[in-house]
Structure 1
Amino acid sequence: MFCVMNEIKKGYILDSILEAKDDPVLAKKALGNLVSFSIEHGINGNLYKKYILYTLIYNDNSYTRSIEMNQKTIGQSNIILMDYQEYFELYNKEFEFLNEAKYFQFKREEDNYLASLLDSLYNEIEKMNNYHNFVRVIESFYKTKGLADMAIYKAFRVDNGILKPIKNVLNVTFNDLIGYDMQKSLLCENTEFFLNGKPYNNVLLYGDAGTGKSTSVKALINKYFDKGLRIIEVYKHQMAEISKIINKLKSRPYHYVIYMDDLSFEENEIEYKYLKSIIEGGIEPKPENVVIYATSNRRHLIKETISDNGGVFDDLHRNETQAEKLSLSYRFGLQIYYSSLSIDEFRSMVKEMAIKNNIIMDEEKLIIEASKWQMRNGTLSGRCAEQFIKYLSNKIQN
């Protein structure tokens, strides 16, 4: 059996605090470490206690994962109970040289989720600062929020087979994507089926560039994060790693979207075969807490060539080639089309965006300027409208 305290004391910040004692040089260093930690993570208030809670959140091991999965409790093991008793005593330990770190304040970002979590944990424990409440709050956190990065971050990328958090996720919502109500509704409905354990589909969002496909997926992160949704961004060159990634995810109590943006394959690329086998087929089925969402400018993800459509001597071979190329798209049970805008839809979008951005301009002049911008950029899309509004906003401010 592991020992929680041994895991905790590996942290250099806590080590420096415990070693400082009456040494003013070491005490100053320990305080500096704590303040640096708080600034890095945007943490205010009692820095020492919140650092202890931070370390508990990141106490990721086999036993805490079993608690996270609702398979065990802290009280099931006397050794674990003793560890948390020691932890509780450490949480309440007083260090005179840390007194000025009890009320540390500095300006932080409003949407700092980690800081908010620590505030909530701290306030809940301080309401009734005794051992039993301490254990109850920590155990409840593991079961409702989770452990380590998965409890804190919305999205992740793959780096040499390791999931690394994406710390600055664009704070976009479906309200920011004007129009495309049917597309947004289909995507949200499928995602809610997925989160609620109902039959769901892998999704392909396809259509012209700048129409809101990627924005829709990003909006999902913010809409359903509190319900346990996490996004794993995977690039085409990482297809061979997907099976290993999924294997790491299947035992966690979250729901994961494996997200591939701007997905397409040239004729000579074979990475799509990995994706095909994962979506459908293979000896081991894809776990129910993993779904695949992809965006593409192509409905048929593998590029077709002239030789696929004619001029080939062997018709049977040609048909087999076409079927192979189409089979990947067909494995996405839900295909959602994002079309370019009509000129009226484009103008309507520009007017709505102008209102949202507090741009006051004669409507006729606004439409004339937007039309000029669109003609220079050559697209009738939400991205084009957004770029125009940004340009106009900067021009007015200057």
Structure 2
Amino acid sequence: MSTLRTTLLELANRFLETLPNSVQEIDWGQTLCARWVHDRANMGHLRILHPRLDQTFEGLIGVDKQARQFKANLELFLKGLPANATLLWGARGTGKSSMVRAALTAFHDRGLRIIEVEKSHLGDLPAIVENVRSERFQFLIYCDDLTFEDGERGYSGLKTVLDGTLEEFGTNILVVCTSNRRHLVSEPMRDNQNATVVDGEIHQGDAIEERVSLADRFGLWLSFYPFPQDTYIAIVKHWYTELGRDLDLPEFTEQMAVEANRFAIGRGGRGGRVARQFVIDQMAKQLLANST
């Protein structure tokens, strides 16, 4: 009997594991951000996130032009006017994701909300939109670090979403993506070799045309480049002040600037993320020194 009971319990547990997780009811008046997830039964639903509103546009250094363009487009969106789907592309750690977080900090009190979507779930966009179509808030559908490898065909669905389909979704949905690739898709050498010359004009191969057509669906491109040394040091000083408010840190010195540059070389590039990591490293060393 005990063996039978154990077997039945195991079967019951396996059955329970196939059931969808409980879905949270979302009050968008209280919720600023959610992520589209799939449960164990592969059913999609929104999961509430609790973002920190600590990133501001003022705290973004070296990307003033990009911030102005991004905010201008968001102003149209928040007013219910046509706004461009936005692609923030460029070097890692240069402020792309931080700019989206800054938008939530700046505009959540005007009704801006964010729904994070992974690349693998972009095909669920119609269901996501249906969840919020009747809400009185403005939603950024946000996909971070979006790239497609050679041969990966998932971007065909994204093209459809960014085309006329979104026009049917209403004015409270805007797609925003970040990527380290301008065209979102890898560019193998063979694609460039397939270009032809006809009547003195270069005609790119079909693969290149398809990639460009995907990026063309985004009406606003914002480019982010590696920071020059002086901008990088300015970012380091910013984080040194911000993160060290509650610590008795020594004054920032030229030697620290040298160490910050050495730290960046070790990380393979200068960026806001690297600057912050350097400051945290310095804070840890200072705490360690104070404890001995």
Report the TM-score when normalising by structure 1. 0.59
Is residue 27 of structure 2 the alignment partner of residue 149 of structure 1? yes
Matched residue SS, 1:150:
coil
Per residue, is there more helix in 1 or in 2?
1
How much has 1:352 moved relative to structure 2?
3.0
Unmatched tracts of structure 2, length 5 or more? 1-23, 38-42
Shift of 1:314: 11
User: Does 1:333 pair with 2:211?
Assistant: no
Within-5 A mapping of 1:74-113:
none
Q: Which among 143, 147, 156 is matched to residue 260 of structure 1?
A: 143
Match of 2:122 among 239, 254, 259: 239
Give the 4+ runs in structure 1 shifted more than 4 A. 311-318
Q: Could you tell me how far apart the structure 2 residues matched to 1:227 and 1:190 are?
A: 15
Alignment of 1:37-186 (within 5 A): 148-159=26-37, 160-169=43-52, 171-186=54-69
Aligned counterparts of 2:240 and 2:195: Cα–Cα separation in 1 = 53
> Paired residue for 1:320, among 181, 206, 230?
206
Post-superposition Cα deviations, 1:20-41, rounded to whole Å, max 9, x if no partner, equal xxxxxxxxxxxxxxxxxxxxxx
Q: Deviations 1:325-356 (Å, cap 9, x if unpaired)?
A: 11111111000011111112112222233233
Residues 1:248 and 2:131 are matched in the alignment = yes
Equivalent residue number for residue 113 of structure 1: none
Residues 224-260 of structure 1: CA deviation (Å, up to 9, x unaligned) = 1111111010001101101111122221111100000
Report SS of the residue matched to 1:152.
Answer: coil
Conserved? CA contact 1:214–1:295, under 8 Å: yes
RMSD across aligned positions (CA): 2.4
Q: 1:244 to 1:385 in 2, by over 3 A?
A: same
In the comparison of the two structures, how many residue pairs are matched?
253
Local SS of the residue matching 2:58: helix
How far does residue 311 in structure 1 lie from its aligned partner after superposition? 5.1
What is aligned with 2:255? 365
Q: Distance in 1 between matches of 2:252 and 2:32?
A: 41
Aligned to 1:78: none
Give the CA deviation at 1:368: 1.7
| 8 A contact 2:89–2:222 mirrored in 1 | yes
* Higher relative contact order structure (alpha carbons within 8 Å, sequence separation ≥ 6): 2
Partner of 2:239: 353
Aligned-partner SS, 2:54: coil
Select which of 257, 265, 269 maps to 1:379: 269
Distance (whole Å) between structure 1 residues aligned to residue 205 and residue 196 of structure 2: 11
Whether the aligned pair in 2 keeps the contact of 1:278 and 1:286 (CA below 8 Å) is: no
- Asked whether the 8 Å contact 1:350–1:385 carries over to 2, the reply is yes
Contact kept, 8 Å, 1:279 with 1:286, in 2: the verdict is: no
Is 2:187 aligned against 1:301? no
2:174 alignment partner, SS class: strand
Q: Give identity over the alignment, percent.
A: 34
The structure with the greater share of residues assigned to strand is: 2
